[in-house]
């Protein structure tokens, strides 16, 4: 994994420090690479220890791994404290970690519902609560929460996922109002169907239908989402807060 540091143009995140939850794979890993290339220090916060350590080792001394269960308040708090110990500050939080556990309403268990809510919604709350306290002390912060087009439009078999991602949008709007006076912007990104392991169980026939209905004619890539995170984390977006940015190739349900 070779990272080419951009030496010939201004880096958008130079000397910033970012926590990226779910940063060991997929969209999170792509974001970690991009942010480091743009000058940031990155903490990969992930529950998967082997993948997290491997990613941090390959990404070099500007990357650090902290094993983190975002749904556990002690673990989330520890991640924030370890980030400050390692890099001295936190300017950016990317709440990217998320899971699915799909079933139709009549077949979904309460355990399935609670598991997804714990990671996708409670986890965003906990990480933001602890990171925002530090950001507020320094009167600067960029918080980007990962929602989904499912949170905007719903989807068959995803009651728990839709609820969590709709909740993320509600929290984003609320925090934008609460934290703006502290110099902190809070925005959400709503990815469409992205070519990651998360859609690995979706039948090829359905994926082809999605591509056909998408004006840009393809699934999204992790890079598409990482670049949206970069924009909202940078000073290019300094007067943008409380929005949900759909990155879905124009897909409308």
The residues assigned a catalytic role are: 161
b/e 51-76 (16+ beta carbons within 10 angstroms → b): bbeebbeebeebbbbbbbbbbebebb
Pick from 90, 72, 71, 92: nearest CA to 80: 90
Q: What Rg do the C-alpha atoms of the chain give, in angstroms?
A: 17
Contacts of residue 70, defined as CB under 8 A and 6 or more positions apart, other chains included, come to 21, 45, 47, 76, 95, 97, 119, 122, 123, 124, 126, 127
In angstroms, the CA 228 to CA 224 distance is 7
């Amino acid at each position: 994994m070779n990272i080419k540091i951009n030496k010939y143009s201004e880096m958008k995140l130079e000397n910033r420090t970012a926590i990226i939850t779910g940063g060991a794979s997929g969209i999170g890993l792509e974001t970690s690479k991009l942010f480091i290339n743009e000058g940031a220090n990155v903490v990969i916060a992930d529950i998967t220890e082997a993948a997290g350590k491997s990613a941090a080792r390959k990404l070099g001394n500007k990357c650090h791994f902290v094993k983190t269960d975002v749904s556990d308040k002690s673990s989330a708090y520890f991640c924030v404290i370890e980030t400050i110990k390692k890099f001295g500050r936190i300017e950016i939080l990317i709440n990217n970690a998320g899971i699915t556990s799909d079933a139709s309403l009549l077949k979904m268990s309460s355990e399935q519902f609670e598991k997804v809510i714990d990671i996708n919604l409670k986890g965003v709350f906990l990480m933001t609560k602890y990171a925002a306290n530090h950001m507020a002390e320094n009167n600067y912060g960029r918080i980007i929460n990962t929602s989904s087009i499912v949170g905007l439009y719903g989807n068959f078999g995803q009651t728990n996922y839709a609820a969590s991602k709709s909740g993320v949008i509600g929290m984003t709007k609320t925090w934008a109002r609460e934290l703006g006076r502290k110099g902190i912007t809070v925005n959400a990104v709503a990815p469409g169907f992205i070519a990651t392991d998360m859609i690995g169980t979706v039948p090829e026939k359905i994926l082809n239908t999605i591509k056909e209905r998408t004006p840009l004619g393809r699934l999204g890539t992790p890079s598409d989402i990482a670049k949206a995170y970069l924009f909202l984390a940078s000073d290019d977006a300094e007067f943008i807060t409380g929005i949900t940015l759909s990155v879905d190739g124009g897909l409308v349900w």
